[in-house]
A and B are shown apart, each in its own frame.
Chain A
């Protein structure tokens, strides 16, 4: 028991320090920009952080709101994290999310007259399939043409935006709507499980975490994925097929991100606008990095960022701080994580075993080489 606690402590200490330092930096930024908010105010950060915390955890509703915000972050975070384990940088979670959302929407609208028992599962499956396809493409390209997934996934993100815009402004445009959006989804709407907004998606996310853990650490496929991520040449030597594992890993990532998208539309928003603005895909990267690409870490990181998002609205209202501050905080947290060696040395923290560095090394290294996948 002590050994386990010790391990948790050594792994969690660095993210905790990074978060703390980020809050400090965020406070400094707020103080410096307070003239723009309403006048120079040294206590602005306190007001802001307090609002943030209350909005995240301060009440039953807040907690549910945090869970609801965390759901897509956890799912998409797993999408990025599994990619890391496979030596891939999945920046395409954003596009996979959108295509998953779109696919689910298409099926849901088509089945709007059917019964929920039919519409919900089919819509969710459609979302998974759409996301899977959008993950399959860069995976396939990386495996068989060497096109580095960092650039292809980003490109596909932009293509996804265009596809969504076209489909919803055109064929799927609602009947009597005031701006470009679909009709409301009725049959496919996810049932509420807790509170006001806690929908079925929460359950999906809660199931996805242990499933991802089992996949990566207890199954042979997970061993293959991790081996390809750590050393593709050794994987080939061991009889594995790195090309197909890459495709599989990216497809799984796409599936998870697509589920996140489907869950958001079917459970939270209820329809899909043509210009669906969301930063989930990029937040997911931060979640995966903060959670050190481990399913449990991603769960906690997702909850943290979900809380921050839930509280951001209250922060904007009570302290006048725009919600973009959350992105700033995320980036700074990541910065301190990345600078971990320096942080360690300064604060004399010992290193735990291996972190996510090995897989990340493969990501950067494969950028320039023709890795023999």
Chain B
């Protein structure tokens, strides 16, 4: 193998490819874990945009949910018995944390829905307001609470594969990387599949698509555009809630100011890259977070020889910037902007109730 690697230019490329393939099983769990909040955020964006509502406030919704999950779980742990069902690390305080986080995100989504649909304010501004508010209120409360050092309620645990399965050749590797996820991660996987099927085969999916493309046409066949949009936007809040909660009660167990670090926006880019389909968005999320896996791998187990030297010489900030750079390149290159739901971003005026 080393002989092939020594061939001038092509050798390096081959070595790189081989390296990536070999590193994948090792970093796959990292990638999957990092992709989960992004995929969930993309599901939130999906529910919004497919119905015709722009939502750039996913970031703020996630941040709010992250904070609420952590704080309410912490409070619950002090008040409620720490009973669990023994699987996946599910305990009552954590469940309370998750539930309140989802409710909080739904409430924020309701505000966005109200501003965008009823008030017909500019939807991008509505999203921005949510982002600024979320940063402010979570930072504010976090500072006040941290003074009292509240205890952590722990976190959900990933599924453990029975040792036997791990040794099965291909399947073992796949299961190991994908199913090494906790309850929220599993929920994400299930949601992606369910939403994809529903979009194209259910009545809800058809009506949502119609409303997102041509709300006037939908209205004239008797569909209540406003109600459908409200339900979808608030429904989308569920996923933002899951995404935020994941950060503080599954992936980690503490809250930090502004910890979402742009994931909400990367989620949006994943949605666009995935052509506004759940499965596509999930794939895009994996692609975007692959760079994190790559960075981890290079840091701890760099390839040998020239390639290794080059890769480790690259400053780690480059890998930090990589997801964002990929997003830009994708956006610039994806011609499919014209595949956005046609009515997205435009407030809908219903004439029938206007007196």
Binding site for B on A (CB under 8 A): 29, 33, 36-37, 89, 91, 141, 145-148, 150-152, 154-159, 162-163, 165-166, 170, 279, 282, 285-286, 289, 321-322, 324-332, 334-335, 338-342, 357, 360-361, 363-365, 367-370
Inter-subunit contact B133/A338 (CB<8 Å): no
Report the minimal beta-carbon distance from B29 to chain A, rounded to whole angstroms.
24
Known interface pairs A162-B321, A326-B136, A367-B54. Does A151 touch B344 (Cβ–Cβ under 8 Å)? no
Report the minimal beta-carbon distance from B166 to chain A, rounded to whole angstroms.
37
Inter-subunit contact A36/B122 (CB<8 Å): no
Inter-subunit contact A334/B125 (CB<8 Å): yes
Inter-subunit contact A33/B141 (CB<8 Å): yes
Inter-subunit contact B144/A36 (CB<8 Å): yes
Inter-subunit contact A330/B136 (CB<8 Å): yes
Which residues of B sit under 8 angstroms from A154, Cβ to Cβ?
262, 265
Residues 334-353 (chain B) with a chain A CB within 8 angstroms? 337-338, 340-346
Inter-subunit contact A327/B265 (CB<8 Å): no
Q: Show 15 residue pairs from A and B whose CB-CB distance is below 8 angstroms, ordered by the A residue.
A: A33-B140, A36-B144, A145-B333, A158-B262, A159-B324, A162-B320, A165-B317, A285-B128, A334-B129, A335-B133, A338-B121, A338-B122, A341-B121, A367-B124, A368-B340
A141 to B126, CA, bound (A): 24
Give the number of chain B interface residues (Cβ < 8 Å).
55
Inter-subunit contact A342/B119 (CB<8 Å): yes
Report the minimal beta-carbon distance from B91 to chain A, rounded to whole angstroms.
25
A370 to B328, CA, bound (A): 17
Inter-subunit contact B321/A322 (CB<8 Å): no
A29 to B317, CA, bound (A): 38
A81 to B136, CA, bound (A): 22
Inter-subunit contact B327/A151 (CB<8 Å): yes
Which residues of B sit under 8 angstroms from A329, Cβ to Cβ?
136
Known interface pairs A155-B327, A335-B129. Does A368 touch B121 (Cβ–Cβ under 8 Å)? no
Inter-subunit contact A37/B144 (CB<8 Å): yes
Inter-subunit contact A155/B328 (CB<8 Å): yes
Which residues of B sit under 8 angstroms from A363, Cβ to Cβ?
122, 124
B131-145 vs A, CB cutoff 8 Å, 1 = contact: the mask equals 111011101110111
Report the minimal beta-carbon distance from A280 to chain B, rounded to whole angstroms.
13
Binding site for A on B (CB under 8 A): 54, 56, 115, 119-126, 128-133, 135-137, 139-141, 143-145, 147-148, 261-262, 265, 268-269, 272, 315, 317-318, 320-321, 324-325, 327-328, 331-333, 337-338, 340-346
Report the minimal beta-carbon distance from B306 to chain A, rounded to whole angstroms.
22
Which residues of B sit under 8 angstroms from A328, Cβ to Cβ?
133, 136-137, 140
A368 to B143, CA, bound (A): 39
Among residues of A, the one whose C-beta sits closest to the C-beta of B130 is A331
Among residues of B, the one whose C-beta sits closest to the C-beta of A36 is B144
Inter-subunit contact A282/B126 (CB<8 Å): no
A286 to B131, CA, bound (A): 11
Report the minimal beta-carbon distance from B165 to chain A, rounded to whole angstroms.
39
Inter-subunit contact A360/B122 (CB<8 Å): yes
Known interface pairs A285-B128, A322-B140, A324-B139. Does A145 touch B122 (Cβ–Cβ under 8 Å)? no
Which residues of A sit under 8 angstroms from B133, Cβ to Cβ?
327-328, 331-332, 335
Report the minimal beta-carbon distance from A7 to chain B, rounded to whole angstroms.
23
Among residues of A, the one whose C-beta sits closest to the C-beta of B131 is A282
Inter-subunit contact A163/B265 (CB<8 Å): no
